[in-house]
Chain A
Amino acid sequence: MELVPLREGFMLAGVLFALGLIGMLVRRNLIFTLMSIEVMLNAAGLAFVVAGARWGQPDGQVIFLFILAMAATEVSVGLALALELYRQYKSLDTDVISRMKG
């Protein structure tokens, strides 16, 4: 196994995270927002695994596992909320749900 340079690994994670961030800030559709969040979570987990690989310990992978579990939970609840949103407002636009304004 050849070695993977860590800098590039982290950079990859960073870029993916930034892309996810852009996606979350720009898209108004709730589904897209949730997808962007998944991207960000994935990027964070990638960073952990890279770090774990640096030290040669499975700790990074373990943490990724936990992140995975958490992402699964969050997605299920989030999508249930998205369904509820669609039912009540007949639209998936997050800007519509701004009753907490002011």
Chain B
Amino acid sequence: MLKLLWLVPAIPFAGALVLAVLGARMSHKRVTVVGVGTVAASAFISILIATVFLSAPPASGMYTQTLWTWIDVGSFRPQIAFYLDALSLVMMLVVTFVSFLIHLYSAEFMRTDEGYSRFFAYMNLFVACMVTLLLADNLLLLYLGWEGVGLCSYLLIGFWYQDPVNGLAGRKAFIVTRVGDTAMAIGLFLLFHSLGTLRIQDLLHTAQVQWSTGSAYAIAAAALLLGGAVGKSAQLPLQTWLPDAMAGPTPTSALIHAATMVTAGVYLIARTHVLFELAPPVQFAVAAIGAATLLMAGFSALTQNDIKRVLAYSTVSQIGYMFLALGVGAWGAAIFHFMTHAFFKALLFLAAGIIIEALHHEHDIFRMGGLRKELPVAFWTFLIAGCSLAGLPLITAGYYSKDLILWSAGSSAAGSTVLWAAGIAGVVLTSLYTFRLIFLVFFGPVRTPVTKQPGLAMTIPVCVLAVLSIVGGFDKVPFARFIATALPTLPEAVGGITETLSSIVAALAFLCGLLGAWFVYQRNPALATAMVENPAGRVLHRFWFSDWGMDWLYHRLFVRPVVWIARVNKADVVDSIYVGLASLATFCYRVLSLTETGKLRWYAAWIAGGTVAFVAIVMFL
């Protein structure tokens, strides 16, 4: 049964090919069957494999399936091979299942779009690349999947390409993640050069043997890989692309920019955890980046008025939590949070999609309201997901995962109270902006009327995800035990913050945020406007609204100089060599054409001259 592993990425890939080549000529129903069916098959096979793996785990907890040797040059022999252990199994399962639900949802959401088959082709390709990334046995294949998902992200963000804004957003996403990808590529070069292999398990083993903790190589390699992860997961300083990526269709945002692609960085760090353990400064940097990002994005989310942008910043913030967990060594906790986050964030986006569709493409939350009665499905699912996101104690999945991270941050050897406090502050912010969103969208007077209700294909996925958002956290202990077969567990607690204390404070933080949001947006709406009108408030609002001015900074720092250079070099200095060659040839041509006078005597003279010269050469040489 485990031999079917290769089908999981292969079937969506085949689906993508079929849709790309034949999609324009296929009927709508056939496209749906192919597009959704491939991912359904993939999810089904994943579940089968998971059942087998869990019931009868293979020896040493891992399974490798080699397909063929990809490149064979000297000592460099990466293969197309898939590696299944607890980590990749969990991620593959979550990715394929959530992808299936989202594909089902988009069958209805994108029904009237004229790029229907193109959409499913891109989405299928994305799933194939993502699964390749997760199952990759060596870093080169992982990088292939990495680039593949980046490509699909670009294609899907700019899906409605007729509007240039979407194309620009896609380009921005691609270029910003490219910066990270370049760092990662250099990291791969470094790793291969010093360790001689890119096969992940061999690499980690060799690194442990060859590099001492804190050696320069380890720090460099880990830092470069971190660069790649930061780019793909939209953390500081490369987080500017994710809010703009909301220009894509909502199912895309749900799938790529909430549940799966942006967690690729988390996966990378978890997979190569040995390297990060060998480089404590870099690991601390991971935690610091995570903490800083979660706070920054939290503040930014407070000020947004586009529903999808709030959720985008929320994603950035939650991935910051995952990075925080990775940074303090709580590898399992980070993956646990990934799983619960995938459920509730995808649900949030899908529910938002229902709202957007129902309100005829209205994104502004200040123009929504009172949808509690109008869209009950959306309301209840959104509420469940929002509570899970904010961490409603005991009955939501998000609470368990976030709690675990907070406690690990506060109590582990690499953690500190500062990180814990940052995490708690993040809980307040999360709760605040989540309930702000809920109160503004679902309560209060109806500002935009509802034009249509969602159909079955959109209702079923959101309901399933809602159930998962509640029960997903109950398996915390078995999950931890399972994931410990692949990732190291956290050493015993050392800090003064016990688990109970952390939980209570977190619960209090949640309540704080809830009450704050209720007070400002429900009870006393005028207060919100007053806070923004206040001069200090206005500055803060603008600052946080523009993502702490990072777009402006990057524009000044990078975009302007490059554009200036491009403008100055319009005639292209390098090109002038080739143009020069061409004009030299033209010049010679013009000079030589002067000899063609058309006059008989001149030609005869040239012949005579040539003869004289020739005879002279023969005579004297």
CA distance in complex: A21, B605 (Å): 9
B608 touches A100 (CB 8 A): no
B608 touches A21 (CB 8 A): yes
- A50 to chain B minimum Cβ distance, whole angstroms, is 19
Majority secondary structure of chain A interface residues (helix, strand, loop or mixed) = loop
Please, which residues of chain A bring their CB within 8 A of the CB of B601? 24-26, 28, 33, 94-95
B600 touches A101 (CB 8 A): no
Task: Check B596 for interface membership: any CB of A closer than 8 A.
Answer: yes
CA distance in complex: A28, B172 (Å): 75
Task: Check A99 for interface membership: any CB of B closer than 8 A.
Answer: yes
Q: Which residue of A lies closest to B593 (CB)?
A: A102
- B593 to chain A minimum Cβ distance, whole angstroms, is 6
B597 touches A101 (CB 8 A): yes
A99 touches B604 (CB 8 A): no
- Not counting A26-B601, A101-B599, a sample of 6 additional A-B residue pairs whose C-beta atoms are within 8 angstroms of each other reads A24-B604, A25-B608, A28-B601, A97-B600, A98-B598, A101-B598
A100 touches B598 (CB 8 A): yes
B605 touches A25 (CB 8 A): yes
- A11 to chain B minimum Cβ distance, whole angstroms, is 16
Contact status of A99 and B598, CB under 8 A, knowing A21-B608, A25-B608: yes
CA distance in complex: A26, B604 (Å): 10
CA distance in complex: A26, B602 (Å): 10
CA distance in complex: A99, B597 (Å): 9
Please, which residues of chain B bring their CB within 8 A of the CB of A98? 597-599
CA distance in complex: A25, B600 (Å): 9
A25 touches B604 (CB 8 A): yes
Q: Which residue of A lies closest to B611 (CB)?
A: A21
CA distance in complex: A33, B604 (Å): 11
CA distance in complex: A21, B600 (Å): 13
Contact of B600 among A26, A94, A102 (CB under 8 A): A94
Please, which residues of chain A bring their CB within 8 A of the CB of B605? 25
B593 touches A94 (CB 8 A): no
Smallest CB-CB A-B distances: 3 pairs: A98-B598, A101-B598, A94-B600
CB-contacts of A19-69 with B (<8 A): 21, 24-26, 28, 33
Q: 10 A-B residue contacts at CB 8 Å?
A: A25-B601, A25-B608, A26-B601, A33-B601, A94-B601, A95-B601, A97-B598, A100-B596, A100-B598, A102-B596
Majority secondary structure of chain B interface residues (helix, strand, loop or mixed) = helix
Please, which residues of chain A bring their CB within 8 A of the CB of B604? 24-25
Q: Which residue of A lies closest to B605 (CB)?
A: A25
Please, which residues of chain B bring their CB within 8 A of the CB of A25? 601, 604-605, 608
- B610 to chain A minimum Cβ distance, whole angstroms, is 13
- A20 to chain B minimum Cβ distance, whole angstroms, is 11
Please, which residues of chain B bring their CB within 8 A of the CB of A97? 598, 600
Please encode chain B, from 573 to 605, with 1 for each CB lying within 8 Å of some chain A CB and 0 for all others.
000000000000000000001001111110011
Contact status of A33 and B593, CB under 8 A, knowing A21-B608, A25-B608: no
CA distance in complex: A95, B597 (Å): 9
Please, which residues of chain B bring their CB within 8 A of the CB of A101? 596-599
Q: Which residue of B lies closest to A33 (CB)?
A: B600
Please encode chain B, from 238 to 272, with 1 for each CB lying within 8 Å of some chain A CB and 0 for all others.
00000000000000000000000000000000000
CA distance in complex: A8, B545 (Å): 107
Please, which residues of chain B bring their CB within 8 A of the CB of A94? 599-601
CA distance in complex: A78, B69 (Å): 77
- B598 to chain A minimum Cβ distance, whole angstroms, is 3
Please encode chain B, from 70 to 102, with 1 for each CB lying within 8 Å of some chain A CB and 0 for all others.
000000000000000000000000000000000
- B601 to chain A minimum Cβ distance, whole angstroms, is 6
Please, which residues of chain B bring their CB within 8 A of the CB of A24? 601, 604
- B575 to chain A minimum Cβ distance, whole angstroms, is 30
CA distance in complex: A28, B598 (Å): 13
Q: Which residue of A lies closest to B609 (CB)?
A: A25
CA distance in complex: A10, B597 (Å): 35
CA distance in complex: A100, B608 (Å): 20
CA distance in complex: A26, B599 (Å): 12
Most A CB within 10 A of own CB, among B593, B600, B604, B608: B600
Contact status of A95 and B599, CB under 8 A, knowing A25-B604, A25-B608: yes
CA distance in complex: A24, B606 (Å): 12
CA distance in complex: A23, B142 (Å): 84
Please, which residues of chain B bring their CB within 8 A of the CB of A102? 593, 596, 598
CA distance in complex: A69, B544 (Å): 104
- B595 to chain A minimum Cβ distance, whole angstroms, is 10
Please, which residues of chain A bring their CB within 8 A of the CB of B593? 102
CA distance in complex: A100, B598 (Å): 5
Please, which residues of chain A bring their CB within 8 A of the CB of B608? 21, 25
CA distance in complex: A24, B600 (Å): 10
CA distance in complex: A100, B599 (Å): 8
Please, which residues of chain B bring their CB within 8 A of the CB of A99? 598
- B340 to chain A minimum Cβ distance, whole angstroms, is 81
CA distance in complex: A25, B599 (Å): 11
Please, which residues of chain B bring their CB within 8 A of the CB of A26? 601
